């Protein structure tokens, strides 16, 4: 299927419903969204643009741009406008040629501009139009729909290719067409250059939900908008959720309209999930696991799973609160060893996935999918006997200490349960004796204190002594990407160049 068909079908079936609320000039209906996207696509086609690049904050220009590009038969390429100038220029040079929808400050930041890239402001883009094209509309599901530069926690960002058939397969398989209740409204605060920002547009449109955009995330503005727009659905990354819960407490706000809060995009500490369940008992929590290369979600831990896990006395059930739930029914997930051989439940290995929404393709690189359709995610994990998937993080992050594989996430979860620990990161650092040693960087709760010996003992008692950090460093904050991914390589670099054990 083609992205343009998603919008056409939705506009035909529910043209009068609100598609995007609280836009610059009021609400945009599904008919209106289709009309505006079609007009902008005529502008793109009349100019002969090869790509629509977006370097902007969140607004109605995200769905308009995404569908305009689809209707014009060209890729939509959202780029992180908050990158440093040099990085932004390097990415835009790769994103060119095409038309770039830019945030106000961008043109001056680009100096002489980027060869092959012309700029258009958001207001200009949203009112753009062109002559009726002579050729029929684009509908090839093999065309590239979206190019996304992966956040690049290691090395140079890769440009992931999603063809129309990938995200549309995800939508058709997992979302009920027109399934939204009339009051349903989704608050989108994840940036448009994140796969979750793209998926939010598509699933909202297909279900007939009202989209509400938060231009740039702050916990205060998120809570404000969620309250005034009576938001029912939202997706946040872990760092956002922690701040949101704090603001809700400060304001004594419970967001009674909110029914569905999903989280993903990075590892969520169990302590934070427990807090959310306690603080928002009327809200169904959903943990979603997915990759850019898989068109968003491939496994979900639903509201019932959360409730069952937290209420259970069975350790095997309770521990599922830290899982990402079960794979979507339209996908296959396997755990495999280094040689690519499938492993039985309960065994740690690499997560592999196969399904129609899986692209695994990058610009300028050979296929990363096996001949029979499997993608190696480079994430470590395991499945329990009931099929719940546990993700342990990037395989590159696994600590190999004296031949034993240690999962940083497991140790982090235990440290976070310590009352004095507000946040922490566990990494492997080079060690002459063990190959790698376990190091922890800990942020303490304001006013609390814990010494190295106590924290080591805390971990050793709950896991094993081999997992107790040999090095512990205290800091006031940890480095995160703005989509909530802990930047371990930054910490690794810093710890390597002078680790200390107080």
Partner 1 sequence: MGARKEMDLKPGTRWSSQVCDTEVVVVRAPAGAVSLECGGHPMVPVGGDRSPGLALDPSFAAGSLIGKRFADSESGLELLVTKPGEGSLAKDGITIPLKEAKPLPSSD
Q: At what angle do helices 408-416 and 452-462 cross, to 10 degrees?
A: 110
Does residue 451 touch partner 1 according to CB under 8 A? no
What is the C-alpha separation between 287 and 484, in angstroms, rounded? 14
**Cα separation values, 6 from 34, 43, 167, 187, 457, Å:** 10, 21, 11, 20, 55
Contact segment (CB under 8 A) with partner 1 among 28-36, 102-110, 292-300, 389-397 equals 292-300
In angstroms, how far is CA 124 from the centroid of its own chain? Answer: 29
Nearer to partner 1, 305 or 392 (CB): 305
**Nearest distance, CB of residue 166 and partner 1, angstroms:** 12
Q: Which residues contact 119 (CB under 8 A, 6 or more apart)?
A: 99, 100, 102, 106, 107, 113
What is the total count of residues that contact partner 1 (CB under 8 A)? 42
**Nearest distance, CB of residue 196 and partner 1, angstroms:** 6
Nearer to partner 1, 136 or 385 (CB): 136
Q: Which of 27, 173, 253, 334 binds partner 1 (CB under 8 A)?
A: 173
Helix (H) or strand (E) segment spanning residue 194 = none
Q: Which of 58, 151, 168, 481 binds partner 1 (CB under 8 A)?
A: 168
The binding track of 3-32 with respect to partner 1, each residue x by CB under 8 A or -, is --x---x--xx-------------------
**Nearest distance, CB of residue 347 and partner 1, angstroms:** 26
**Nearest distance, CB of residue 13 and partner 1, angstroms:** 6
Q: Which of 73, 98, 192, 264 binds partner 1 (CB under 8 A)?
A: 264
Burial 154-166 (b: 16+ CB within 10 A, else e): eeebbbbbbbbbb
Question: Does residue 69 contact residue 41 with C-beta atoms inside 8 Å?
Answer: yes
Does residue 445 touch partner 1 according to CB under 8 A? no
DSSP of 37-77: HHHHHHHHHHHT-S-EEEE--SSTHHHHHHHHHHHHT--EE
Site residues (CB under 8 A) for partner 1, limited to 321-340: 328-329
**Nearest distance, CB of residue 49 and partner 1, angstroms:** 24
**Nearest distance, CB of residue 392 and partner 1, angstroms:** 20
Nearer to partner 1, 22 or 205 (CB): 205
Q: Which residues contact 441 (CB under 8 A, 6 or more apart)?
A: 424, 425, 426, 427, 472, 473, 474, 475, 478, 491, 495
**Nearest distance, CB of residue 311 and partner 1, angstroms:** 18
Question: Residue 325 corresponds to which tokens in the numbers above?
Answer: 């739930």
383 pairs with which residues across the strands? 389
Dihedral (CA of 141, 188, 197, 105) sign: positive
Nearer to partner 1, 165 or 401 (CB): 165
The binding track of 217-256 with respect to partner 1, each residue x by CB under 8 A or -, is ----------------x-x---------------------
* Residue at token pair 């740039």: 216
Q: Which of 196, 236, 277, 351 binds partner 1 (CB under 8 A)?
A: 196
Contact segment (CB under 8 A) with partner 1 among 23-31, 54-62, 127-135, 194-202 equals 194-202
**Nearest distance, CB of residue 60 and partner 1, angstroms:** 17
Site residues (CB under 8 A) for partner 1, limited to 299-318: 300, 302-303
Question: Does residue 61 contact residue 125 with C-beta atoms inside 8 Å?
Answer: yes
Contact segment (CB under 8 A) with partner 1 among 30-38, 200-208, 342-350, 417-425 equals 200-208
Question: Does residue 375 contact residue 336 with C-beta atoms inside 8 Å?
Answer: no
Helix (H) or strand (E) segment spanning residue 310 = helix 303-311
Q: Which of 116, 284, 435, 479 binds partner 1 (CB under 8 A)?
A: 284
Does residue 169 touch partner 1 according to CB under 8 A? yes
The binding track of 48-87 with respect to partner 1, each residue x by CB under 8 A or -, is ----------------------------------------
Site residues (CB under 8 A) for partner 1, limited to 85-144: 141
Helix (H) or strand (E) segment spanning residue 378 = strand 375-383
Contact segment (CB under 8 A) with partner 1 among 88-96, 100-108, 296-304, 493-501 equals 296-304
**Nearest distance, CB of residue 199 and partner 1, angstroms:** 4
Q: Is 138 helix (H, G, I), strand (E, B) or coil?
A: coil
Contact segment (CB under 8 A) with partner 1 among 2-10, 220-228, 335-343, 442-450 equals 2-10
**Cα separation values, 38 from 69, 132, 382, Å:** 9, 10, 45
Question: Residue 432 corresponds to which tokens in the numbers above?
Answer: 């002459």
What is the C-alpha separation between 348 and 313, in angstroms, rounded? 24
Site residues (CB under 8 A) for partner 1, limited to 379-408: none
**Cα separation values, 426 from 219, 340, 413, 436, 437, Å:** 26, 27, 10, 12, 10
DSSP H helices in 96-137? 106-109, 122-126
Give the interface with partner 1 as residue ranges (CB under 8 A): 1-2, 5, 9, 12-13, 141, 165, 168-169, 172-179, 186, 196, 199-200, 202-204, 207, 233, 235, 260, 262, 264, 284, 286, 288, 290, 296-297, 300, 302-303, 328-329
């Amino acid at each position: 299927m083609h992205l343009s068909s998603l919008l056409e079908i939705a506009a035909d079936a529910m043209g009068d419903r609100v598609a995007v609320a609280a836009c610059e000039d009021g609400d945009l209906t599904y008919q209106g969204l289709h009309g505006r996207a079609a007009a902008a696509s005529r502008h793109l086609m009349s100019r002969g643009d090869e790509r629509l690049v977006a370097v902007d904050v969140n607004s109605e220009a995200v769905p308009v741009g995404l569908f305009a590009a689809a209707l014009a038969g060209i890729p939509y390429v959202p780029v992180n406008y908050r990158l440093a100038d040099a990085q932004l220029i390097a990415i835009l040079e790769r994103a060119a040629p095409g038309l770039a929808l830019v945030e106000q400050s961008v043109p001056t930041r680009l100096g002489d501009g980027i060869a092959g890239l012309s700029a258009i402001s958001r207001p200009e883009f949203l009112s753009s139009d062109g002559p009726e094209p002579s050729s029929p509309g684009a509908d090839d599901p093999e065309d590239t729909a979206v190019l996304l530069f992966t956040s690049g926690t290691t090395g140079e960002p890769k440009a992931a290719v999603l063809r129309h058939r990938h995200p549309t397969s995800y939508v058709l398989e997992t979302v009920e067409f027109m399934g939204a209740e009339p009051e349903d409204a989704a608050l989108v605060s994840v940036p448009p250059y994140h796969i979750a920002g793209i998926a939010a547009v598509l699933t909202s449109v297909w279900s007939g939900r009202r989209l509400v955009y938060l231009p740039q995330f702050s916990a205060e503005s998120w809570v404000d908008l969620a309250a005034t727009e009576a938001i029912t659905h939202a997706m946040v990354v872990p760092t956002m959720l922690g701040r949101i819960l704090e603001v809700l407490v400060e304001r004594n706000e419970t967001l009674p309209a909110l029914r569905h809060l999903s989280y993903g995009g990075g590892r969520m500490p169990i302590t934070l999930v427990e807090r959310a369940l306690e603080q928002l008992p009327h809200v169904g929590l959903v943990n979603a696991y997915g990759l850019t290369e898989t068109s968003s979600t491939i496994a979900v831990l639903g509201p019932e799973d959360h409730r069952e896990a937290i209420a259970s006395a069975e350790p095997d059930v309770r521990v599922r609160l830290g899982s990402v739930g079960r794979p979507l029914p339209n996908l296959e997930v396997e755990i495999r060893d280094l040689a690519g051989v499938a492993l039985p439940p309960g065994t740690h290995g690499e997560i592999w996935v196969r399904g129609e929404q899986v692209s695994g393709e990058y610009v300028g690189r050979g296929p990363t999918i096996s001949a029979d359709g499997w993608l190696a995610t480079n994430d470590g994990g395991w499945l329990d006997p009931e099929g719940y998937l546990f993700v342990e993080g990037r395989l590159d992050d696994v600590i190999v200490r004296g031949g034993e594989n240690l999962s940083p996430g497991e140790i982090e979860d235990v440290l976070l349960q310590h009352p004095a620990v507000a946040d922490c990161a566990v990494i492997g650092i080079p060690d002459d004796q063990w190959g790698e040693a376990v190091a922890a960087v800990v942020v303490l709760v304001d006013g609390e204190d814990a010494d190295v010996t106590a924290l080591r003992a805390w971990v050793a008692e709950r896991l094993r002594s081999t997992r107790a950090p040999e090095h512990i460093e205290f800091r006031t904050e940890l480095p995160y990407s703005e989509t909530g991914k802990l930047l371990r390589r930054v910490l690794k670099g810093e710890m390597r160049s002078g680790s200390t054990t107080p």
